[in-house]
Amino acid sequence: MDKKITIAIDGFSSTGKSTLAKQLARHLGYAYVDTGAMYRAVTYYAMDKGYITDEHFDKQALINDLPHISLQFLFSPEKGFAEMYINEHNVEKMIRTLAVSNKVSRVAELSEVRAMLVKQQQQMGAGKGVVMDGRDIGTVVFPDAELKLFMTASPETRAKRRYLELQEKGDKASYEEVLKNVQERDYIDCNRQDSPLVKAADAIEIDNSKLSIEEQFEKVMQLVQNAV
Ligand code: DC
């Protein structure tokens, strides 16, 4: 497989996009870009500065700071994947908490934030040989991607996965809280004005409610082969 392509993976939260994207990138020797981590990082920044709390969201303060936010993925040899840095601080752990998940969709609604991150994502994938996951990769970031996947699974299946993941990390969120977060994010992600989550006309839908990780990988590798 010599020709390098762009693989765009979109879909609802906790549908296993990043698991699949990492598997593909490792197997194909491609770069993997987790665009959700970038939206999470900007959200963490806004929370840390007090721009967004449960009570208020000072959107303009965040927009004014955007030119001073530098995001970077740096590969960690111990972890085996790239971790997220903001202005040279490792924020990988902080951006995965339920507290950030609860605010990220509101930050991701801002067109100024989207414009900045989409531009960086397009630069990262310019040379092809990239697997990128998010919500708007096949529709906005790389509308010409050779392979577009759209991942779905029932909200309950997704909440159960996310709940187990958070438990493993020692986050004490309840299953009900996680399910509520999944449903709220689905709603905001699908209904925002700028780049809502929609399946691109030429994307292949994968419902993995009943697929094992291995079954899914085999199915997708077949699609990669066809696309190449
Ligand atoms: O993939 P994730 O759950 O880590 O993404 C976190 C949030 O970021 C998600 O609820 C919506 C937003 N997001 C987005 O709007 N566009 C992307 N390309 C990726 C994520």
Indicate if ligand 1 lies below 6 Å from the C-beta of 114. Answer: no
Indicate if ligand 1 lies below 6 Å from the C-beta of 189. Answer: yes
Q: Whose CA is nearest to atom 11 of ligand 1?
A: 105
For residue 198, being part of any structural domain is answered with: yes
CATH code assigned at 120: 3.40.50.300
Per-residue pLDDT tens over the stretch 34-81? 999 999 999 999 999 999 999 999 999 999 999 999 999 999 999 888
Sheet containing 204-207, strands listed edge to edge, beginning at the edge strand earlier in sequence: 31-34, 130-134, 6-11, 147-152, 204-207
Per-residue pLDDT tens over the stretch 129-155? 999 999 999 999 999 999 999 999 999
For residue 222, being part of any structural domain is answered with: no
Per-residue pLDDT tens over the stretch 189-206? 899 999 999 999 999 999
Which whole number is the average pLDDT over 10-15? Answer: 92
For residue 96, being part of any structural domain is answered with: yes
* Cα(82)–Cα(78) distance, integer angstroms: 10
Indicate if ligand 1 lies below 6 Å from the C-beta of 134. Answer: yes
Domain containing residue 154: 6-216
* Cα(118)–Cα(121) distance, integer angstroms: 5
pLDDT at residue 210, as a whole number? 84
3-state secondary structure labels for all residues of the chain:
CCCCCEEEEEECCCCCHHHHHHHHHHHHCCEEEEHHHHHHHHHHHHHHCCCECCCCECHHHHHHHHHHCCEEEEEECCCCEEEEEECCEECCCHHHCHHHHHHHHHHCCCHHHHHHHHHHHHHHCCCCCEEEEECCHHHHHCCCCCEEEEEECCHHHHHHHHHHHHHHCCCCCCHHHHHHHHHHHHHHHHHCCCCCCCCCCCCEEEECCCCCHHHHHHHHHHHHHHHC
Q: How many whole angstroms from its chain centre is CA 7? A: 14
Per-residue pLDDT tens over the stretch 82-139? 999 999 999 999 999 999 999 999 999 999 999 999 999 999 999 999 999 999 999 9
pLDDT at residue 79, as a whole number? 87
For residue 1, being part of any structural domain is answered with: no
pLDDT at residue 110, as a whole number? 97
The answer to whether the pTM exceeds 0.85 is yes
Asked whether the beta carbons of 96 and 169 are under 8 A apart, the reply is yes
Pair type for strands 130-134 and 6-11: parallel
Query: Domain total for the chain?
Result: 1
pLDDT at residue 1, as a whole number? 54
pLDDT at residue 81, as a whole number? 85
Ligand 1 centroid to residue 147 C-alpha, Å: 20
For residue 224, being part of any structural domain is answered with: no
> Helix 175-191 to helix 155-168 angle, to the nearest 10 degrees?
120
Asked whether the beta carbons of 110 and 63 are under 8 A apart, the reply is yes
Ligand 1 centroid to residue 35 C-alpha, Å: 7
Which tokens in the block code for residue 93? 């752990």
For residue 226, being part of any structural domain is answered with: no
Indicate if ligand 1 lies below 6 Å from the C-beta of 150. Answer: no
Per-residue pLDDT tens over the stretch 157-190? 999 998 998 999 888 889 999 999 999 989 998 9
Indicate if ligand 1 lies below 6 Å from the C-beta of 105. Answer: yes
pLDDT at residue 209, as a whole number? 87
For residue 28, being part of any structural domain is answered with: yes
Pocket test for ligand 1, best of 10, 22, 35 (most atoms within 8 A of CB): 35
For residue 151, being part of any structural domain is answered with: yes
